[in-house]
């Protein structure tokens, strides 16, 4: 047995703090990835809208 005493739970607290840091990092990584994917989807949708409008403009311009 160690000399730190029966009720010493400093190793437990250290493990809990490390787990909390890992959890925060994990959620930050998930949020960052989701945000980047959301921005990419918005850009792709915007490009599709621009392409459709450009195609419609070409079709209308060909009729005149």
| Dihedral, 52, 56, 61, 64 alpha carbons, nearest 10 | 170
Whether 4 has a pLDDT exceeding 70, the answer reads: no
Q: What's the pLDDT at 63?
A: 79
CA distance 27 to 39: 18
Structure tokens at 61: 């311009």
Q: Is the pTM of this model over 0.75?
A: no
Structure tokens at 31: 């949020």
Domain coordinates in residue numbering, the chain: 8-64
pLDDT per residue as tens digits for the range 13-62: 999 999 999 999 999 999 999 999 999 999 999 999 999 999 999 999 98
């Amino acid at each position: 047995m160690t000399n730190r005493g029966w009720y010493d739970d400093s190793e437990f607290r250290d493990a809990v703090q490390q787990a909390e840091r890992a959890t925060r990092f994990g959620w930050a990584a998930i949020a960052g990835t989701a945000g980047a994917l959301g921005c990419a989807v918005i850009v792709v949708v915007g490009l599709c809208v621009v392409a459709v409008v450009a195609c419609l403009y070409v079709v209308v311009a060909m009729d005149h």
